[in-house]
Amino acid sequence: MTPYLHHHLLSAYEHAGEKEKLDRHLRAYWGEMLRKGMNVFPEVFVPENERLTPYGTDPRINSACHGWSCAPAYFLRKM
């Protein structure tokens, strides 16, 4: 699942009133990016496979800093 789809999961948690689950998931998923030393949020992030790409076999095609991955900026403002 891409960070873009994780945004929709967080949105569903918010809609269901599950703010604690939203916070835990945000910290776990995007926190893992930070723990791995990233200072931007990539288009594709699967903690178990950092070379995963939806574009065939070349992960260099993935965007290293992608707007679709900015869910923390949206949800942290609302918390």
**CA nearest to 6, candidates 76, 69, 78:** 69
Condensed to tens digits (0 to 9), the pLDDT of residues 26-63 reads 999 999 999 999 998 988 899 998 788 888 888 888 88
Rounded mean pLDDT, 53-76: 84
Distance CA 28, CA 55 (A): 26
Kindly report the pTM of this predicted structure. 0.84
Condensed to tens digits (0 to 9), the pLDDT of residues 2-33 reads 899 999 999 999 999 999 999 999 999 999 99
Exposure on the CB side of residue 10, measured as CA atoms within 13 A:
26
